Chains A and B, each alone.
Chain A
Amino acid sequence: MKSSHPAPVAIIGAGIAGLTAAVTLRRQNIPIVLYESGQRIAGLAQSFNDEDGFSYDFGPHFITNRLAAALGVGAQCRTVRHYGEAVWLQGRTYGYPFGLLQVPRFCLSGLASKLTPGNQQRANSSAAEWFRASYGKALANEVAIPLLEAWSGADASQLSAAVGSKLQNSIGYTFLLKAASHLTHRAVASGYSHEMPEHPNVWHVYPEGGTSTLCQRLADGLEGAIALESPVESILVEQEQVTAIRVKGTEQPVSAVISTAPCSVLARLINGSDALRPLTKFRYRPMVFVNLRLNGRGYLPNTVLWTPEAEFPFFRLTETPLSMPWLAPAGKTIITVDIGCEVGDAIWSMPDDALGVFCRDALRPIIPTVQQQYLGCRVMRSSIAYPIFLNEYEADRVALEKSTGIAGLYSIGRNGEFSHMLMEDVYWRTQNKMRDVQADLKSQIGGQSGIA
């Protein structure tokens, strides 16, 4: 006899996306089980504190006050008073974006690109062309494309134009948001949220305890529904419909599966369908984040410094205490050095201490006194830091935005959607997707009762 209770929805991964999915569905009284392979929740949002008073965030540093309010953790958040970016070029720094616009060759080539007929058609062919058409050749060739290539590890002509089209507000609106930030002494979000509108009353905040605080708040409503140390071994599909999962060798019927796993991992979990085979080609960029501890503070001209020139082994430096002073003890700072790499290559395999010294030495042109101020480092590695939008699988990526192609299977979150979205977008997008899941489940139940 069949149980009158519907099989639960299985959610794979207890990061912000998985937890949001679980909370949203549970609010609709849909039974769920959240499977997490690790010993604790929070996925990429985990934070660490060391005995010297330094804090390290693996993944995003801050969120918006809007997301904090939505989760009910606003009282546990500190306002970020300042955030800014700059670019290092030929020994000088330029504010981003307005400092760069004051460089005549960037400005003129940018204007020329706007006036050149046919640019928009070319812009769709690759990321390289998109940047040339949108920013002008000079800015694209000297700044945007080198950064993109260092970040992705791929030739910009091989990357999809979709990389660029997801980036920014208009110059005018960016100016407005920056002005609001100066006037209110709050780091107004600009170019951060794409799902919900940005405006002067949405700014960055830092949750006490790091972004894992958000995950913990979400998990508070999920008592009894989270299975830790329970990796999903396979997803069973019959006639292109998810039927069950296998966990710890046991098959468990499910009404749907919502995965936050990287697409390539998800594709390998599928048993009984080839629909996700194209996803095995999807690549993520491995990244090494070297957190250098230094005496003193204020070494970078702004919180983030982009370094597009090939002389540097890194492409981005972040001095987080310039935005969030509490992340380092007084009189000290952390500079995070982002280096793109491949799993197993020389950078990836380098011992932590050697990486610290390597970065320290490479930083000398930017921070001449770095050797004397260096206190040590802490290294974090991620084999799946960013999705790489290669043109070779762009059609499959666009198809995935609509559906996995298997009924009852959903791929969500930054890794699952293979998307460049940040924390707040993950939250709102996941909520929206769960409405689709709910509608699908309803029609599924309706269809079954119709048959009965």
Chain B
Amino acid sequence: MNRASAKPDSLSQRGAVARPGGDRPLSLMSVHCCICNGDDAEPIAVGEDFEYRTSPDTFLAMRCRQCGLVYLNPRPAVEELSRIYPPDYHAYDFSQEQFGFVYKVRCRLEAGRLLSCCKGLPDSARILDVGCGDGFHLGLLRQFGQSSWQLEGIDPSDLAVIAANRAGLTIHQGTIQSLDLPKASYDLAFMIATLEHVDNPVQVLEAVRSLLRPGGCVVIVTDNTDTLDFRLFQQRHWGGYHFPRHWNLFNPSTLRQLAQKVDLEVAQLTTILSPVNWVYSLHNALVDWGAPLWLIRQFTLKSTLALGIFTLFDLLHQKLGHGALLRVTLRRPF
């Protein structure tokens, strides 16, 4: 579930869509650290839903003093998901019509990344995309991968499933914990920009593990808190917070601890570049400071210039091992 901006013509004075019910507080719940189950955390950021304005709430990002995980606490109750993922949420419709040039560039980039994870898969490989959204990645695998691969996706959202089905993809609606999919049957799973959205990463990864064949892998791509953009914007505006939709945020250390907890081996852990958190950090700061809309619009996923500049910028960081996204390949032991 990557990020894009709302429609520019529906931007309100506060830089986001003015939506019905957006002035009603969410039901919030307190949580513990999902890795160490501890309750000993320090507050690091107070933020708002700068992008979609789905509620008037303020949110607190905390960092666990035991393991270093950054997590939202308190966070919206699960029954509020339909509010915090409104119908215009970009992950339900990341289309060429909406995103033009950015869509084309991203397709090429993402296709290359996906296929690099698929090396060595058998012709009959069964591949699962957990949190597939509108099926963007499955579509790329279908377009650029082997036609014999069996591609499936999982997503709980009606809107995502409708979009994916429209594209002719096989989608299981629900959460991975609730669906009764065949155990030890999948060769490869993807969780691309998904882990940070789920309520219980441990349970989700345990469920993914149970679906993988022994030796099968899950590739996780998630926001990286071990970055310069995080350090610069961590007090409020960091794009990776995506308040209030990113519930757990990782660095290489916490991701390794998570893998260990669910008995998956770290086959590869690297960082990859992305301009998105840079662009959205600036976007959020401008929204928060009441900047004019024309300026805010220079920092969205439709802003080719900003994306280009920060792609180069993040390339430098990625070369130093601190790219904006973490990509880890976890293997189910034989």
Contacts and interface: CB of A to CB of B under 8 A. Distances in A.
B122 interface: no
Contact of B39 (A24, A66, A68, A77): A24
A46 interface: no
Interface stretch (B42-50, B96-104, B256-264): B42-50
B57 A74 contact: yes
B236 interface: yes
A66 B25 CA distance: 17
Given A27-B39, A199-B235, A435-B40, A74 B45 contact: no
Contacts of A202: 46
A70 interface: yes
Nearest to A203: B46
Given A66-B60, A75-B57, A201 B46 contact: yes
Contact of A70 (B39, B43, B56): B43
Contacts of B30: 27, 72, 221
Judged by DSSP, the binding face of B is: loop
Contacts of B60: 66, 69-70
Nearest to B233: A201
Nearest to A74: B58
B59 A69 contact: yes
Contacts of A435: 39-40
Contacts of B39: 24, 27-28, 435
A404 interface: no
Select the residue from B48, B60, B236 with max chain A CB neighbours within 10 A: B60
B289 interface: yes
Given A27-B30, A27-B39, A201-B45, A68 B58 contact: yes
A365 to B, nearest CB: 41
B28 interface: yes
Given A28-B39, A66-B43, A201-B46, A72 B289 contact: no
In this complex, the interface size class of chain B, counting residues with CB under 8 Å from chain A, is: 20 to 34
Judged by DSSP, the binding face of A is: helix
B74 interface: yes
A125 to B, nearest CB: 35
B277 interface: no
A72 B43 contact: no
Interface in A15-33: 24, 27-28
A184 to B, nearest CB: 7
A28 B32 CA distance: 10
Interface in A168-218: 184, 196, 199-202
B251 interface: no
B248 interface: no
A228 B43 CA distance: 32
Nearest to B234: A201
A221 B26 CA distance: 16
A201 B59 contact: no
B11 to A, nearest CB: 21
B55 interface: yes
A184 B48 CA distance: 16
A65 interface: yes
Interface residues of A, number: 21
A22 to B, nearest CB: 13
Interface string A35-79: 000000000000000000000000000000110111010111100
B289 A69 contact: no
Interface string B15-46: 00000000001101010100000011011011
A66 B235 CA distance: 11
A72 B55 CA distance: 12
Contacts of B48: 74
B171 to A, nearest CB: 34
Interface string B42-73: 11011010000001111110000000000001
Contact of A75 (B45, B56, B289): B56
A72 B28 contact: yes
Given A75-B25, A184-B289, A201-B236, A196 B43 contact: yes
B42 to A, nearest CB: 7
A196 B46 contact: no
A74 B59 CA distance: 8
A28 B25 CA distance: 26
A72 B75 CA distance: 9
A72 B57 contact: yes
Interface string B71-108: 00110000000000000000000000000000000000
A184 B236 CA distance: 14
A117 to B, nearest CB: 39
Nearest to A196: B43
A24 B56 CA distance: 26
A69 B58 contact: yes
A228 to B, nearest CB: 24
Contacts of A196: 42-43
A399 B63 CA distance: 31
Contacts of A28: 39
Interface string B284-301: 000001000000000000
A24 B28 CA distance: 16
Select the residue from A75, A199, A200, A221 with max chain B CB neighbours within 10 A: A75
A201 B48 CA distance: 12
A427 to B, nearest CB: 10
A69 B42 CA distance: 13
Interface string B124-141: 000000000000000000
A428 to B, nearest CB: 8
A72 B19 CA distance: 21
Select the residue from B32, B42, B43, B55 with max chain A CB neighbours within 10 A: B43
B46 A65 contact: yes
25 contacts: A27-B30, A27-B39, A66-B60, A68-B58, A69-B43, A69-B46, A69-B59, A69-B60, A70-B60, A70-B74, A72-B28, A72-B30, A72-B74, A74-B56, A74-B59, A75-B57, A75-B58, A77-B58, A184-B289, A196-B42, A196-B43, A201-B45, A202-B46, A221-B30, A435-B39
Among all A-B residue pairs, the 3 with the closest Cβ atoms: A74-B58, A75-B25, A69-B60
Given A69-B58, A72-B74, A201-B46, 17 more contacts: A27-B39, A28-B39, A65-B46, A65-B58, A70-B60, A70-B73, A72-B57, A74-B48, A74-B56, A75-B26, A75-B58, A77-B58, A199-B235, A201-B45, A201-B235, A201-B236, A221-B30
